[in-house]
Amino acid sequence: MNFYFLRLCWKNIWRNRRRTLITVNAIGLGVMALVFLRNYYDSFHEQVIHNVIRYHSGHVAVAIKNFEKNSATQLYIKNSAPLIQWLNSQKNTLAISERVVFSGLASSARGSTNVMVMGVEPASEAKVTDFARKLIRGSFFDDGKDKSIVLGVKAAETLNAEIGSKIVVLTQGVDGSVGNELFWVSGIFDTGSDADKSLAFIRLSEARAILSLPLQSSHQVAVTLKEEDELSLFRQSFDALSTKEAEVQMLSWKELQRPVVAMIELDRAVNRMLMFLILGVAALGIANSILMSLMERTKEFGVMLAIGTAKEEVIRMVIVETLLLTGVGVFLGNLFGVLVTAFFNQVGFDLRWLTSKDFVIQGAVVQTVSYPVARISNSLVVTTVIVILALAVSYFPARQASRLTPMKALRSH
């Protein structure tokens, strides 16, 4: 089709300006809404993933097999030094944090509460999780004192503890002995998540001592990768690792946080369904517009055929008109979708008018304000789907056009 026919098609779609504008608006609004929604959901999901990673075990947790099911203190890596060395040597490793984890009873002079105690190297842990940045009082073991404990704000409230308060941690050692130790509160964090009432940090060596664990042993090593999509590469390297203990396993955040992954998958499925619904309605608008246009121009098609236009050219014209009509809507929809995304990227898309506070997913807090980022992939997906739907709905008008004969068309009114 040469430029002449392209111009003819362009002029044809604007012969009923109002109808075309309504159709273009329907396509544009649908595309804009979907481009923005997809951008928003992507940012929201990334925030959820980020928070889950930064408040749990990073991208990957390496632990004894079945540790995540049993959480038994007896299931520990006896000598984690070679593993630590190997993890540090990997090019996609950003940070690692060796951990000893146990549940115990934390008591102060004014109260007690059950806590999950995490023995960590403070500097390493601060690179893997965000707890050190969420302190509202004190420091994350920066006081240089031994026997320091960092508590969540709610646990501190339950214990009526403040910076410098004495806390006794009581648990059972791996050898069956009773492990207890006196700590002084050095920091209190506030993440807004469940961790605030149930998590406490102490130094790694002190955790080993309470549990009577051997030196260089640990329950898990949390790993943060440079990029999240390096997970499969990391797994390949890990599976090939010959020096690891046979019973050591690697669990990605997706395996550790299955409900979060399921929620994101469900969100995406609903989003896809919404996309087909919205674009389906827009496609019906396109079909209506093209069919009406065709009915009004049947005699004109007769003239075209009579003076030597091939049926295939008429069909091509119908399809090109459909694509041009769709193209205008898609262009405007994408343009405004990106602009709306850019606007909310600056000011934040705030859902507080729908839900009164930040919410918690799998222990990680998710803010109601998101800052969506425009992604070309989202525009491409929406554009591809609407173009395919437009081509599908143009089949019927095109088929109708292909059945025309010059005389039949010329006799129509």
Partner 1 sequence: MNILEFREVSKVYNQEKSGIHDLSFSVKQGEIVALAGPSGSGKTTALNIAAGLDEFCDGEVRLLDRSLQNLLPQELLNLRRNDVGFIFQSYNLFPVLTVLENVEYPLALKGVRFYERIEKAKRCIEEVGLAGLEDRMPSALSGGQQQRVAVARALVTEPRIIFADEPTANLDAVTAEKLLLLFRELNDKQGTTFIFSSHDPRVLKFADRVIVLADGRLAH
Where does this chain bind partner 1 (CB under 8 A)?
2-5, 7-8, 11-12, 14-15, 299-300, 303, 306-310, 313, 406-407, 410
From the list 84, 109, 108, 110, the residue with the least C-alpha distance to 98 is: 84
Q: How far is the CB of 25 from partner 1 (least distance, A)?
A: 22
Q: Name the residue nearer to partner 1 (CB basis): 13 or 364.
A: 13
Q: With contact defined as beta carbons under 8 Å apart, do 234 and 60 qualify?
A: yes
Q: How far is the CB of 409 from partner 1 (least distance, A)?
A: 10
Q: How far is the CB of 301 from partner 1 (least distance, A)?
A: 11
Q: How far is the CB of 323 from partner 1 (least distance, A)?
A: 18
Q: How far is the CB of 286 from partner 1 (least distance, A)?
A: 19
Q: With contact defined as beta carbons under 8 Å apart, do 63 and 77 qualify?
A: yes
Contacts of residue 154, Cβ cutoff 8 Å, sequence gap at least 6: 196, 197
d(CA 127, CA 140): 12
From the list 317, 333, 297, 325, the residue with the least C-alpha distance to 20 is: 325
Helix (H) or strand (E) segment spanning residue 276: helix 258-296
Q: How far is CA 283 from CA 20, 300, 325, in A?
A: 13, 25, 11
Cα dihedral sign, 257-260-266-267 = negative
Q: How far is the CB of 8 from partner 1 (least distance, A)?
A: 7
